């Protein structure tokens, strides 16, 4: 005897996220990593020169533009991903980004 209702058992075969949920979910994971890479000192100096001394604004705009551009690209490409894999990917991107920042500030 199964404890999973038949409707739920059928749903597990197609638990893929698609459309904007999948596209922008993957874009968020990539934007997290891009934002972490923007901590690199030569990029900070370059971004500060673009806006006259304040790189934070440029860094924020770059991360948001990357998120939306990649999100629309992946949505247009009809990207699909399992919800569990997307959650794991977002968690891994956050852990890698956090570890990268800790390492960066420990070395600098």
DSSP state of 4: S
Look at residue 90 and tell me if it is in a domain: yes
Split at pLDDT 50, 70, 90, the class of 40 is: confident
User: Average pLDDT of the chain?
Assistant: 84
Q: Domain total for the chain?
A: 1
Closest by CA to 38, choosing from 7, 17, 59, is: 59
Look at residue 11 and tell me if it is in a domain: no
Split at pLDDT 50, 70, 90, the class of 94 is: very high
Question: Domain containing 28: what range?
Answer: 16-107
Look at residue 2 and tell me if it is in a domain: no
pLDDT of 2 over the 50 cut: no
17-34 per-position pLDDT tens digit: 899 999 999 999 999 999
In this structure, what are the phi and psi dihedrals at residue 93, rounded to the nearest 5 degrees? Answer: -60, -40
Strands 16-18 and 80-82: antiparallel
Look at residue 4 and tell me if it is in a domain: no
Look at residue 60 and tell me if it is in a domain: yes
Look at residue 23 and tell me if it is in a domain: yes
Look at residue 95 and tell me if it is in a domain: yes
Look at residue 9 and tell me if it is in a domain: no
């Amino acid at each position: 005897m199964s404890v999973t209702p038949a409707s739920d058992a059928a749903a597990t075969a197609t638990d893929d996220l698609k459309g904007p949920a999948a596209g922008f979910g993957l874009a968020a994971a990539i934007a997290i990593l891009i934002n972490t890479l923007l901590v690199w000192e030569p990029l900070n100096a370059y971004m500060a020169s673009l806006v006259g001394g304040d790189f934070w604004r440029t860094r924020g705009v770059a991360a948001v533009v990357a998120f939306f551009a990649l999100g629309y690209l992946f949505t247009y490409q009809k990207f699909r991903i399992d919800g569990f894999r997307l959650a794991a990917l977002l968690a891994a991107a956050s852990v890698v980004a956090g570890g990268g920042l800790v390492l960066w500030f420990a070395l600098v």
